[in-house]
Amino acid sequence: MTTIKKTVQVWSPLIRIGHWTLVIAFFTAYFTEDDFMNLHAWAGYIVGIYLLTRILWGFVGGKYVRFGNFIHSPTKILGYLKNLIARNPQHYIGHNPAGGAMVIALLVSLAGTTLTGIKLYAVEENKGPFAITAQQAQIKIQSASLITEAKAEDDDEDEGSKDLDIDHKADKQADKQAEEFWEELHELFANLTLLLVFLHVGGVIASSIIDKEKLVKAMLTGEKNIDDTYQ
C-alpha cells in the first residue's frame, strides 16, 4: 500500500513564539525571587499574558490549536497510551490525546502559579494588579494610628486599651498568616508546574522516539510531515 506524504502547517508563528517565550519566562520566574523580585514579577506577567492569549486562541485560533481538537475522553487518552506502549501509536496532526491532556494540565497549573503569585505580591509588598488602592491603604493606616493613639492616651493600660492591643496583634498575625498561606500555595503551584514540565518534556521525547515524530522541530518550524495514517 502506498502512503501519500505531505507537509502541513500545524503551529502558527504566534503559537511557536508563544511557546518558546513561555519556556524562557517560566524558568526565569522559577529561578529568580527575593533580590530579583522585579524580574520575577515581570517574567510571571509574561506567563500571564501568554496564558490569556493561548486560552483565547483555544476558542478562536486555527484548527489544531482549538481546545475542541485536543481535549479527549479519559478512555481515548488511555487507549492512546496503551497503543504507544505497544509501539503501535496512532498519529495525530495536532496534539495527540495524551499530549493534549498535558497541555490542559500545564495551562491550569500555570494559571494557578501566576494568580497566586500576583496575590502574594499584593499581600507581601502591596504591589501589582491585586494591590490595595491608595485610599484603602490610607484607611488601614488611619485605623492603625487610631489604635496607637488610643494606646498612648491610656498609660494605665485599662481593659479597653488591652482589647485594642489584642486587636492590633490579631490584625498583624492575620496579615502574617495570609502571607504564609499565599506563599505556600504559590510555591506548591510553581513546583507542580515544574513536575508537569518534566513529564511534558519526557512525553515529547518518548513520542519522538517511539512514534518517530519530530515534535520539537514542528514546534520550531511550524510544519509536520504527515502521511495518510495521520488524523
- According to DSSP, residue 34 is labeled G
Residue 204 sits in the site that holds ligand HEM (CB under 6 A): yes
Count of residues making up the chain? 231
Largest interatomic CA distance in the chain: 98
Q: Considering beta carbons, is residue 103 or 226 the nearer one to ligand HEM? A: 103
Q: Considering beta carbons, is residue 83 or 161 the nearer one to ligand HEM? A: 83
Task: Measure CA of the first residue to CA of the last residue in the chain; give whole Å.
Answer: 18
User: Residue 7's beta-bridge partner residues?
Assistant: 225
Least Cβ distance, residue 170 to ligand HEM (angstroms): 23
Contact 29, 40 (CB under 8 A): yes
Touching ligand HEM, residues 140-199 (CB under 6 A): 183, 186-187, 190, 197
Q: Considering beta carbons, is residue 150 or 194 the nearer one to ligand HEM? A: 194
Please report, to the nearest 10 degrees, the dihedral formed by the alpha carbons of residues 118, 124, 130, 133 taken in order: -160
Q: Where are the beta strands (DSSP E) in the chain?
A: 6-9, 223-226
User: Residue 91's beta-bridge partner residues?
Assistant: 230
Residue 56 sits in the site that holds ligand HEM (CB under 6 A): no
Least Cβ distance, residue 82 to ligand HEM (angstroms): 18
CB neighbour list of residue 202: distance below 8 Å, 6 or more residues apart: none
Binding mask 88-127 for ligand HEM (x = CB under 6 A): -------x---x---x--xx--x--xx--xx-xx--x---
Which residues of this protein are in contact with ligand HEM, per CB under 6 A?
15, 19, 22-23, 26, 29-30, 33-34, 40-41, 44-45, 47, 54, 65, 95, 99, 103, 106-107, 110, 113-114, 117-118, 120-121, 124, 128, 183, 186-187, 190, 197, 200-201, 204, 215-216, 218-219
